[in-house]
Amino acid sequence: MLELPVNEMITLRQLQPENAPTLFSQLDTSRRSLRRFLPWVDYNTNEEHTLRFIEMMLRKTEDQEAIAFGIWYQQQLCGVIDLHCWDHQLDSAEIGYWLGEQFRGKGIAVNACKALITFAFQTLKLNKLEVRFALQNVESAQIPIRLGFAKEGILRHSAKLHGQYTDTVVMGILRQDWKY
């Protein structure tokens, strides 16, 4: 199990099957706010769904396609951060993240992203990372902005949220621009 220390309060630990009950509980508690911009929330309705997600991400890690970490704040599992859409030809990947409601506004997501970005550039030797989010998700947009990502564009009607097409913002950062 891979572990990335972030600071004295935050650690990233690769998700394991035994994390499914706690992770599902965190998701379920924050379901209403998370589902506004994350359509997969509606399909994760029990611990078994969460377990299948973790198992899928472990398989994708073996195949070097993705990796998912639990975000631990003061020893409590409070969310997820991952690298996905890992492209070995372009040495790029996308970052995704979510936090339970009671953990937001504490700098956890920004610090978790910093650690994952550094890991991706230094250890995995990726060249580019992207963050994609719904245009309306102003809260999520603040994280890549604070981390120095550049807005690369808007993909029109590139996602569906609750039956409605929505635009997706793409922001990226290159290894050469990352301040370690």
Can you list the domains of the chain with their CATH numbers?
3-126 (3.40.630.30)
Distance between CA atoms of 110 and 79, rounded to whole angstroms?
Answer: 13
Q: Which helix (H) or strand (E) holds 4?
A: strand 3-5
Q: What is the pLDDT of residue 40?
A: 93
Where does residue 43 fall: left (phi above 0), alpha (psi -120 to 50 degrees), or beta otherwise? alpha
Q: What is the pLDDT of residue 1?
A: 85
Low-confidence ranges of the chain (pLDDT < 50): none
Distance between CA atoms of 119 and 83, rounded to whole angstroms?
Answer: 11
Please state the pTM of the whole predicted model.
0.95
- Burial bucket for residue 178 (CB in 10 Å: 0-12, 13-18, 19+): middle
Q: What is the pLDDT of residue 29?
A: 96
